[in-house]
Structure 1
């Protein structure tokens, strides 16, 4: 599959605009753990995921991470081109959660087309609104939802993404996703294990009672 079939509004571009994007395009293959974009000082360009999985997160002053959203096949990331959106006041880091193939559209090229094309401008605004909705949803979770429910929701989400109940994931990784400390997550997971919801082993968490996790998450 080529870029044209992945870019959602390709057919709404003029032939000249299509050519400008293709001429600015670079294709990258990145390994799991690679930081692709690092804060506002880094204007990487717009990312379009061909395959794999990316994670966008922010850092607290104390160096704690918290995931704000994830990107999968066909997802587009605007925050990696924050230089064309001056209103963005927080720094987002984007890293590969899995080996990933992606396209990078040069920021200045996209900005030029966005300024002259109503479909591109509308698409960009919709995408930005969706991402800010993700951030607002996250803030609500942090403010109003207890950590045990957030951990349960995270484990259920991971099982859905991986299509398996046996998850190769560390307590540190979960803490980074949820903006918590590893020791706190470890205590919570041990409680889950004592309640028969999960089974813990080195580098692995196995969900043993999905229904009980769901009930906890829904309480």
Structure 2
């Protein structure tokens, strides 16, 4: 058992008088994947419950016209909502996931996951609490993609980090708003022309956050 790693990333698992949970921790395998590696794909059998330790995984689907649609990101400290769903329902993956950066994670075999889910109250609450939170995030994202103009979606993404500087490419922003790079670039340039943003390579500086909030609210600006 890599106890130091458990303490660092999932301290709530450590020191519990829970034999089944301790067995789960013992069975966890530390896996590492390089940036760009495919983690899962449509139709793949789900064999492990994953707990992210470091890095970021992007889960997405490909639309009928070949456009990438971002579902969510899995960060350090997260579990993957699709992985959990597939294990609970004994289903294959319906989407794909890629390592956006070098990643490391604990992989827990499916049979160990199910045994601990059945016998450990703590683990059962942990799994369903995280699943519920992640599923809510996905639903909110789908709602954001389904409703509102490109301007409104883009303004929400630009304001989401609550920082004045966003280190994202136009392509990354397009994935987040469910559009294409050319459309997003055109809107960003208009925002810059209005004095709301300052654009540079791989970096966007928010100059007038109030204007972006008004776009989200549907107000006419400029």
Q: TM-score, normalised by structure 1?
A: 0.80
Higher gyration radius (CA): 2
| Residue equivalent to 2:157 | 154
Does structure 2 retain, via aligned residues, the 8 Å contact 1:43–1:82? no
- Give 2:19's aligned residue: 16
Counting only pairs closer than 5 Å after superposition, residues 81-120 of structure 1 correspond to structure 2 as: 81-86=84-89, 91-120=94-123
**Alpha-carbon distance, 1:87 to partner:** 7.2
- Distance (Å, rounded) in 2 between the aligned partners of 1:83 and 1:143: 25
CA distance 1:144–1:83, shift in 2 (3 Å)? closer
SS in 2 for 1:2: helix
Which residues of structure 1 form unaligned runs of 5+?
none
Runs of 4 or more consecutive aligned structure 1 residues displaced over 6 Å after TM superposition: 87-90
2:44–2:93 contact (8 Å) kept in structure 1: no
Q: Which residue of 1 aligns with 2:10?
A: 7
Q: Deviations over 1:11-62 (max 9, x none)?
A: 5965432342233212233333333222341425222222333332222232
Displacement, 1:114?
0.8
Structure 1: distance between partners of 2:90 and 2:179: 28
TM-score, with normalisation over the residues of structure 2? 0.79
Alpha-carbon RMSD: 2.9
* Range with bigger deviation, 11-20 or 146-155: 11-20
Match of 1:210 in 2: 209
Provide the aligned length of Structure 1 versus Structure 2. Answer: 215
